[in-house]
Amino acid sequence: MSQFDFAIQAQLNQNSTEKYQVWIKSLLVEYEDPMYDYQMQKNNHSVVFKGSISEMVEYLKLTFYGCLESFKTRFSTLDF
């Protein structure tokens, strides 16, 4: 039985979605991470920011907060 099938059975029998984490992690580590590395090397993308999750959140707040405030001012009739 595949990891995915095992996760479905656990959800159906035990109403648990924990087993999905196993195959999702495998998908990310075994496929997505290597594909990301390959594409970054192949296409020579420039990285705008690199850091931990908390550093990324702070970067996005600093970078895009001004854009959001400007948008809110321009479209103040909309409910945010």
pLDDT tens digit string along 34-64?
A: 998 888 888 877 888 889 988 988 888 888 8
Each as own residue / partner, the long-range contacts of residues 21-30 (CB below 8 Å, 24 or more positions apart, any chain) are none
Span 2-14, average pLDDT: 89
Give pTM, 2 decimals.
0.47
State CA 19 to chain mean position distance: 19
| pLDDT value of residue 79 | 57
